[in-house]
Amino acid sequence: MYFYPNLDSMFYLALFVWVFTGCRLLVAVANLFTRQWLQAGDPAGKHTISVLVPARDEEQNIATLLNSIVAQEYTQWECLVYDDLSEDRTAEIVLAYGSNDPRIKLIKGTELPAGWLGKNHACHLLALQATGRYLLFADADIRMGKTLLKDSLAHLQKHRLAMCSIFPQQIMQSTGEKLSVPLMNWILVSLLPLLLTRTSRHPSLAAANGQFMLFDAEIYRQNLFHRLFRNKAAEDIAIARHMKKLGLRIHTLLSKGQVQCRMYRSLPEAMRGFSKNVVAFFGSSTLLGLTYALITTFGIIPVWLAMGIIWAVAYLGITLVIRMLVALASKQSIVHNTLTAPLQQLIFVAVMITALYNKSRKKNIWKGRYIDA
C-alpha cells in the first residue's frame, strides 16, 4: 500500500476525501454504539397527549394510522385530524372512526392564507384546538406500535425535553423506494451524532423529523413554532434549531419499530419529496448539499488518481462499512443497501440537481400546491 504523493491539488483533494469519510465512519459508529433508538419506558402520571394529524388526500393511509392510535397501551389521548381540503375520502373515514371513538375528531380545513405552507398551517390550527398536556404532530402515513405513546412520553419526561422527534423505521416495497428512501437515514446517521442533539446546545447539532414530533404543550404554546416558520418547507429542522437557540432541550432518535412509515410509493415521488427538503440537512445551502453528493459519489476518483488502486479499494471498503452501519442502526437491509449503493448515490446526485433546479425557479410542487424552494 505504498504511494508517492504528488503534492498537487489532486492529492489534497484525495486527502480531504479520506478525512471526511473517516469522520463519517466515526459518526456512524457513535450512533450505533450509543444506541440512539427509542427505548421502552413508563411515563409518570396520566397526562393527555393530543395526537395532531395534518391530512390532505390521505385515504390510503389514514385508517391504518387511526387503528394504530386506538390500539395504544397509553389510553390518555385525543386525536385531531385536520382535513386540508382533501378531494378523496379522508374526511369520511375520519368521521366514521370518530363516531365509534369520541377521542377522534375531524377539523375541516379552510383556504390556505397567503404566506403559509399547507402542512404548517394545518399544524398551527391543530395546536390551537388541542387540549393535551403534550402535543404530538404525526404524519398521516405513519404506523404506531402499541407502546409508542408511552415510550416516547417516558423518554421526554426522563430527559426533561421540550421536544423529542423520531425517525420512523421506513417501509419500502417498490424498487424505486428501496433505491431512494434509505438516503434519508444514510445522510442523517453518518453526519449527525444523534446523542449531541440532546447533550449539545449548538443549533447546528439539531435535527427533527416532522413525521413524529412530541412537544411539551406549554412550551409549544408559548412559541407557536409552526406559525413562526409558516413558510418553511423543512419546518421540522428549522424548529429544532430554533429551540436550541432558545436553550430548550430536544432529542432526535431512531425507531426500533415503535413507529413505521411508508413515505413514498415510487422513485419519482421520492425524488420530488426529498428535493423539497433535503437542502435543510446542509444548513439550507444547496451548494454544500451538492458538494456532499459529488464527494460521496465520485470521491473514489481523486483517491485512485492520487494514491493508487489499493487505496481506492480501501476507500471503497470504508464507504461500504458506513452503509452497513447506517443500515444496522436504521433497521434496514444491510445486503440491499450495500449492493445498491452505486445506484443510490446516483439517485442522490439527481435529487440534489433537482433541488438546485427548483431553487433556481424558486418554486416546487407538493400535493398540488406550489411551495417556495
124 in Cβ contact with 226 (< 8 Å): yes
| β-pairing verdict for 142-144 and 259-261 | antiparallel
Same domain, 136 and 26: no
The cell numbers describing 173, all together, are 416495497
Residue 125 makes CB contacts below 8 A (sequence gap 6+) with 82, 107
What 3-state DSSP class applies to 244? Answer: helix
Exposure of 133 by Cβ count < 10 A (0-12 exposed, 13-18 middle, 19+ buried)?
A: middle
What is the pLDDT at residue 234?
87
pLDDT value of residue 372: 54
How many Å apart are CA 287 and CA 352, to the nearest integer? 9
Per-chain mean pLDDT for the chain: 92
User: How many CB atoms within 10 Å of residue 201?
Assistant: 12
Residue 240 domain-assigned (yes or no): yes
pLDDT of the residue at 282: 82
40 DSSP assignment: P
What cell does 225 get?
413554532
The three-point CA angle 198-201-204 to 5° equals 95
For position 365, what pLDDT does the model report?
53
Instruction: Select from 265, 295, 314 the last residue of a domain.
Output: 265
What is the residue whose three cell numbers read 442523517? 188
Question: Looking at the structure, do residues 314 and 212 belong to the same domain, yes or no?
Answer: no
Domain that holds residue 111: 49-265
Residue 369: predicted pLDDT: 46
The enclosing H or E element of 213 equals strand 212-216
Instruction: Judge if 291 and 164 occupy the same domain.
Output: no
Q: What is the number of other CB atoms lying within 10 angstroms of the CB of residue 98?
A: 16
In this structure, is residue 40 part of a structural domain? no
Q: What pLDDT does 288 receive? A: 87
Blockwise average pLDDT, block size 10, the chain, 373 residues: 60 94 97 95 95 96 97 97 95 96 95 94 97 97 96 98 96 91 93 96 93 98 97 92 97 95 88 81 82 94 94 96 96 94 93 83 55 51
Bridge partners for 346 per DSSP: none
C-alpha distance from residue 302 to each of 13, 156, 243, 268, 307 (Å): 7, 45, 40, 31, 8
Could you tell me the three cell numbers for 29?
A: 459508529
Are both 70 and 22 inside the same structural domain? no
pLDDT one-digit tens code per residue, 75-127? 999 999 999 999 999 999 999 999 999 999 999 999 999 999 999 999 999 99
Same domain for 219 and 328: no
Same domain, 259 and 195: yes
d(CA 83, CA 212): 18
Distance, in Å, from the CA atom of 77 to the CA atom of 228, rounded to the nearest integer, reads: 26
pLDDT in tens, 155-194: 999 999 999 999 999 999 889 899 999 999 999 999 999 9
Q: Are 38 and 256 in contact (CB under 8 A)?
A: yes
Same domain, 170 and 298: no
Phi and psi torsions of 25, nearest 5°: -60, -45
